[in-house]
C-alpha cells in the first residue's frame, strides 16, 4: 500500500469529506446574512457595498464559532477512530445529526431576518422566555402566517443542504489496523485542537473567548453589529447568564461625588395621598403620536393617537423621553422600580431576587391598595412574580377576567374589554390606591376586533391600526373612569414598554429606537399642562412621581428627578453599546472606549460623529457614565438596591 493510499484510507479522506460537508453551512450563513441586510436595509442606510463586504468578512469569524459549536457532535462522529464509521448505517446517523443541528441554526438566522425590526439586535437566549407562554402554539402559528416567506426560505436552505450533502460520498474500504488508529487519532486530536481555537476565536492563551462585543471591530454604529453576528452565536453566548464582575473605576468617595442612585426627598408639604394609575402601552413608540412629531414630513404627519393627543394638551408631557430597554421584560423593572435592564434583562438576571424599592413597596407603606392588571394569561413573561416583589399585592389577568369570548386569539383579552374591566375593578378599591396596567393589543400580530376593521385608517405599517385601536380603548377607559369618584384625586402616568416598527428616519437609529412618550396627567391640574423637552427616561418615573406626591424619605433610583437634578440624563444599552443622552450630546461607549458622539437634536439621523473632535466632552461624559456603570454593577452584585436600615 502506498503512503498516499495509507493516509487516505486512515482518515484524511474523512477529513476532506467533513470539510466539504461543512462548507455548505458557511455559505448558507452568509446567504442569510445578505438577506438579513437586504430586508432590514432601512436600518442600515449608511452601509455601502464595501462596508457590507467588510462586515461579511468579519462575520465569518462568528460563523466559524457558531458552526463549530452546533456541529461539535457531527465533527466528533465524523472523525472518531472507528472502523465502522464509513458503513452505510453509521453514515445515515451522521447525516441526520448534520441536518437536524444545522436546520436549527438556519431557523434562528431566518427568524431574525424578520424579528430584528422589533428588537433591533440579534436574538439572545432570553428569546426562550416565550416558551413559557401558555399560548406559545398560537403565537408561533401567527408568526409563521405573517412571515411565511421565512418558512419558505428555511425550507429551501434545509433542502439545499440535504441535496448538497447527498453528493458527497464516503467509500467503504478495508483498512490497515495499526496505521488507521494512529493516523486517525492524530487527525482527530488535531481537529479537536483547532476546533477549540475556532470556538474561542483566537490562537494565543491570552485571547479571551470571542463575544458579541468583538463584532464592534467591523462596524461604525451599534445597529450594524447585527449584520456581523449570527443568531446561533448570539444565543449560545448568552445561554448562561453571567454574573457581573465588580467595577472599580473610582474609590467610594469619588464615585458618590460623581453619581449616586441614593435619593433623599424632604418637603414640608403634606403627602397628597393621590391615587396613582400607571398605564404601560404595548409598543407605543413616540413616532405614533402626532402632537410629539409636529414637524415630521414637512408638517404633514398626523400620527395615530387622536385621544392621547387630546390628553397631552392637558398633561405634563415629556417629549424627549426614552425607554431603558427594547423588550417588555425590560420595561417593568425600569418603570416600576427605577432599575434599568442594562446588558441583560433584570428579570432574567442572577439579581432578580434582590431586594428592591418598587413603587408598590413605597406606596404600600403609605396605606395604598396596590394591584397590577395585565390581560395576558396569568404568569405571562414572569410579570406576576416581579410585580409582587415590587409591592403590587393584587394581580388581575386573563384568569380573573374570566371570559374567553374576548380572547384576541394571540396574547390575551382585547384592550377595550380589559380596560373596561380594570375601570370597574378600580371602582371597588379603597383609596388611595396604586394600579399599574399593561395593555397588549398593539403587539404583533397587530390584530384588532373585527367590528373595527373599517373604523380606523390604514397606515404605512401593520401596527398603525392596532395603535389606533388601543388609543380608542384608552379613550373608553378614561371616559368610564372620569365618572368615578376617585378620578379627580388621581395621577395618571402613560408610557410605553418599548418602541416598535417605525417609518420616520430619525426613529430608525440606535437613539430613536428608544424614543417613547412619558405623560403625567392630573385631572385637577390640567391648567398646568406643558410639553417638556427635558431629557427623561422610564427610570425617572419613580422619582418624578414621588416628587408630585410630596414624598419625604430615602430610596434608591437609577433615574433622575429631572425637574430638580442638575444634570438630566438617560441611559440605555443596545448591541454591546452603552448610550448616554444628556443635552446637547448623545454618547456611545463600547469596550472601554467611546465610539460615537453626536449633537442629537440638530443631527437627528446621527450622521456627524464628533468623538474625535471633542476629546474634553468625551472625557467629561465618560467620567459620568463609568460612575453610573460602577454604581449599577456593584449595587446589583452587593444587593444594595434599597436603602439599608
Cα–Cα distance measured from residue 590 to residue 15, given in angstroms and rounded to the nearest whole number: 40
* Mean pLDDT for the chain overall: 88
Q: Which residue, 479, 431, 493, is CA-closest to 278?
A: 493
For 96, the grid coordinates are: 441526520
Q: What is the pLDDT of residue 1?
A: 47
Q: What is the pLDDT of residue 415?
A: 96
What percent of the chain shows pLDDT beyond 90? 59
Q: How far is residue 6 from each of residues 171, 183, 190, measured CA to CA in Å?
A: 14, 9, 18
Q: Which residue, 625, 629, 594, 622, is CA-closest to 610?
A: 594
Strand, coil or helix: 568: coil
> Parallel, antiparallel, or unpaired for β 553-556 and 262-265?
antiparallel
Where is average pLDDT lowest: 254-258, 293-297, 536-540, 542-546? 293-297
Cα–Cα distance measured from residue 518 to residue 280, given in angstroms and rounded to the nearest whole number: 10
For 359, the grid coordinates are: 413603587
Give the neighbor-by-neighbor strand order of the sheet with 593-599.
Answer: 570-574, 577-582, 585-590, 593-599
> 49-70 and 13-39 helices cross at what angle (nearest 10)?
130
By residue count, the chain amounts to: 645
Q: Which residue, 537, 609, 627, 632, is CA-closest to 222?
A: 609
CA quadruple 195, 196, 201, 205: dihedral sign: negative
More confident residue, 53 or 188: 53
Specify whether the CB–CB gap between 636 and 585 falls below 8 A. Answer: no
Kindly calculate the radius of gyration of the chain based on its CA atoms and give it in whole angstroms.
27
For the stretch 106-164, pLDDT in tens is 999 999 998 888 777 888 776 665 555 566 666 667 777 777 888 999 999 999 999 99
Residues 509-526: what's their mean pLDDT? Answer: 93
Q: How far is residue 277 from each of residues 359, 367, 554, measured CA to CA in Å?
A: 11, 16, 22
331 backbone φψ class: left, alpha, beta (φ>0; ψ -120 to 50): alpha
Query: In sequence order, what are the residues at sequence separation of 6 or more whose Cβ sits closer than 8 angstroms to the Cβ of residue 454?
Result: none
Cα–Cα distance measured from residue 641 to residue 540, given in angstroms and rounded to the nearest whole number: 15
Where is average pLDDT lowest: 79-88, 190-199, 200-209, 222-231? 200-209
Q: Which residue, 573, 575, 538, 578, is CA-closest to 558?
A: 538
Cα 336 to chain center, whole Å? 18
CA dihedral 463, 464, 470, 476 (to 10 degrees): -160
More confident residue, 162 or 219: 162
Cα 475 to chain center, whole Å? 29
Confidence of residue 563 (pLDDT cuts 50, 70, 90): low
Domains annotated for the chain, with CATH where assigned, are: 3-237 (no CATH), 252-638 (3.40.720.10)
pLDDT at 97 over 70: yes
More confident residue, 410 or 434: 434
Cα–Cα distance measured from residue 504 to residue 511, given in angstroms and rounded to the nearest whole number: 13
Q: What is the pLDDT of residue 133?
A: 57
> 463-481 and 415-427 helices cross at what angle (nearest 10)?
20
Specify whether the CB–CB gap between 82 and 98 falls below 8 A. Answer: no
Q: Which residue, 473, 407, 406, is CA-closest to 438?
A: 473
Specify whether the CB–CB gap between 236 and 66 falls below 8 A. Answer: yes
Specify whether the CB–CB gap between 107 and 232 falls below 8 A. Answer: no
Answer whether the bond into residue 175 is a cis peptide, omega within 30°.
no
pLDDT at 10 over 60: no
Q: Which residue, 368, 441, 456, 367, is CA-closest to 406?
A: 441
For the stretch 57-96, pLDDT in tens is 999 989 999 999 999 999 888 888 777 777 888 889 999 9
Q: Which residue, 25, 14, 108, 111, is CA-closest to 65?
A: 25
What percent of the chain shows pLDDT beyond 70? 91
Strand, coil or helix: 122: coil
Query: In sequence order, what are the residues at sequence separation of 6 or more whose Cβ sits closer than 8 angstroms to the Cβ of residue 21?
Result: 78, 98, 165, 168
Specify whether the CB–CB gap between 441 and 419 falls below 8 A. Answer: no
3-state secondary structure 485-543: CCHHHEEEEEEECCCCCCCCHHHCCCCHHHEEEEEEECHHHHHHCEEECCCEEHHHHHH
Residue that the C-alpha cell 405599517 belongs to: 461
Specify whether the CB–CB gap between 66 and 238 falls below 8 A. Answer: no
For the stretch 382-433, pLDDT in tens is 788 788 888 999 999 999 999 999 998 888 999 999 999 999 999 999 999 9
Cα 24 to chain center, whole Å? 31
Cα 176 to chain center, whole Å? 56
Confidence of residue 9 (pLDDT cuts 50, 70, 90): low
Q: Which residue, 325, 331, 282, is CA-closest to 471?
A: 282
Residues 32-48: what's their mean pLDDT? Answer: 91
Helix or strand run (H / E) with residue 96: helix 88-119
pLDDT at 210 over 90: no
pLDDT at 3 over 50: no
Residue that the C-alpha cell 425600569 belongs to: 334
Q: Which residue, 199, 202, 229, is CA-closest to 213?
A: 229
Residue that the C-alpha cell 394581580 belongs to: 395
Residues 238-247: what's their mean pLDDT? Answer: 77
Cα 518 to chain center, whole Å? 19
Q: Which residue, 275, 480, 474, is CA-closest to 370?
A: 275
Q: How far apart are the first and last CA of the chain?
A: 83
Amino acid at each position: 500500500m502506498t503512503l498516499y493510499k495509507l493516509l487516505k484510507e486512515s482518515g484524511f479522506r474523512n477529513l476532506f469529506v467533513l470539510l466539504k460537508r461543512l462548507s455548505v453551512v458557511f455559505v448558507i450563513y452568509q446567504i442569510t446574512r445578505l438577506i438579513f441586510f437586504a430586508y432590514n436595509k432601512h436600518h442600515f442606510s449608511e452601509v455601502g457595498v464595501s462596508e457590507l463586504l467588510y462586515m461579511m468578512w468579519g462575520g465569518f469569524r462568528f460563523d466559524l464559532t457558531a458552526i463549530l459549536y452546533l456541529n461539535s457532535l457531527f465533527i466528533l462522529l465524523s472523525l472518531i477512530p472507528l472502523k465502522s464509521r464509513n458503513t452505510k448505517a453509521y453514515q445515515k446517523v451522521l447525516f441526520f445529526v448534520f441536518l437536524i443541528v444545522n436546520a436549527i441554526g438556519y431557523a434562528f438566522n431566518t427568524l431574525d431576518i424578520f424579528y430584528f425590526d422589533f428588537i433591533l439586535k440579534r436574538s439572545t437566549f432570553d428569546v426562550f422566555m416565550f416558551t413559557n407562554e401558555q399560548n406559545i402554539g398560537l403565537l408561533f402559528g401567527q408568526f409563521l402566517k405573517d412571515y411565511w416567506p421565512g418558512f419558505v426560505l428555511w425550507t429551501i436552505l434545509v433542502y439545499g443542504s440535504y441535496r448538497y450533502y447527498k453528493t458527497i460520498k464516503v467509500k467503504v474500504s478495508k483498512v490497515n489496523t495499526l496505521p488507521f488508529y494512529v493516523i486517525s487519532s492524530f487527525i482527530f486530536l488535531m481537529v479537536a485542537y483547532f476546533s477549540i481555537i475556532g470556538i474561542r476565536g483566537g490562537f494565543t492563551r491570552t485571547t479571551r473567548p470571542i463575544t458579541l462585543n468583538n463584532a464592534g471591530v467591523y462596524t461604525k454604529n451599534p445597529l450594524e453589529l447585527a449584520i456581523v453576528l449570527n443568531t446561533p452565536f448570539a444565543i449560545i453566548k448568552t445561554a448562561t447568564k453571567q454574573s457581573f464582575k465588580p467595577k472599580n473605576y473610582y474609590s467610594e468617595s469619588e464615585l458618590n461625588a460623581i453619581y449616586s442612585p441614593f435619593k433623599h426627598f424632604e418637603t414640608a408639604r403634606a403627602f397628597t395621598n393621590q391615587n396613582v394609575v400607571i398605564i404601560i402601552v404595548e409598543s407605543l413608540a413616540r413616532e405614533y403620536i402626532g402632537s410629539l412629531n409636529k414637524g415630521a414630513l414637512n408638517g404633514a404627519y398626523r400620527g395615530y393617537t387622536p385621544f392621547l393627543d387630546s390628553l397631552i394638551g392637558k398633561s405634563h408631557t415629556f417629549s424627549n423621553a426614552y425607554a431603558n430597554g427594547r423588550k417588555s421584560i425590560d420595561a417593568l423593572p425600569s418603570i416600576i422600580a427605577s432599575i434599568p435592564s442594562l446588558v441583560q434583562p433584570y428579570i432574567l438576571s442572577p439579581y432578580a431576587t434582590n431586594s428592591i424599592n418598587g413603587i408598590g413597596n413605597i406606596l404600600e407603606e403609605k396605606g395604598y391598595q396596590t394591584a397590577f392588571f395585565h390581560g395576558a394569561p396569568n404568569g405571562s413573561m414572569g410579570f406576576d412574580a416581579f410585580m409582587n416583589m415590587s409591592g403590587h399585592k393584587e394581580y388581575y389577568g386573563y384568569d380573573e377576567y374570566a371570559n374567553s369570548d374576548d380572547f384576541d386569539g394571540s396574547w390575551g383579552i382585547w384592550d377595550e374589554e380589559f380596560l373596561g374591566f380594570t375601570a370597574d375593578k378600580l371602582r371597588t378599591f379603597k383609596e388611595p390606591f396604586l394600579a399599574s396596567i399593561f395593555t397588549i393589543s398593539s403587539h404583533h400580530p397587530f390584530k384588532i376586533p373585527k367590528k373595527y376593521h373599517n373604523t380606523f385608517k390604514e397606515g404605512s405599517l401593520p401596527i398603525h391600526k392596532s395603535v389606533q385601536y388601543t388609543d380608542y380603548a384608552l379613550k373608553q377607559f378614561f371616559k368610564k373612569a372620569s365618572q368615578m369618584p376617585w378620578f379627580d384625586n388621581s395621577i395618571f402616568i402613560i408610557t410605553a414598554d418599548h418602541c416598535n416598527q417605525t417609518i420616520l428616519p430619525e426613529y430608525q437609529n440606535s437613539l430613536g429606537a428608544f424614543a417613547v412618550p412619558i405623560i403625567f396627567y392630573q385631572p385637577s391640574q390640567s391648567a398646568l399642562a406643558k410639553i417638556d423637552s427635558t431629557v427623561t427616561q422610564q427610570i425617572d418615573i419613580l422619582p418624578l412621581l414621588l416628587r408630585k406626591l410630596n414624598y419625604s424619605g430615602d430610596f434608591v433610583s437609577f433615574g433622575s428627578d429631572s425637574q430638580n437634578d442638575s444634570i438630566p440624563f438617560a441611559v440605555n444599552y443596545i448591541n454591546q453599546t452603552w448610550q448616554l443622552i444628556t443635552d446637547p450630546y448623545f454618547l456611545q461607549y463600547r469596550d472601554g472606549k467611546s465610539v460615537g458622539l453626536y449633537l442629537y437634536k440638530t443631527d437627528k439621523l446621527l450622521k456627524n460623529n464628533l468623538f474625535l473632535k471633542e476629546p474634553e466632552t468625551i472625557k467629561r461624559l465618560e467620567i459620568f457614565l463609568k460612575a453610573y456603570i460602577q454604581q449599577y454593577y456593584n449595587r446589583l452584585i452587593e444587593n444594595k438596591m434599597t436603602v439599608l436600615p
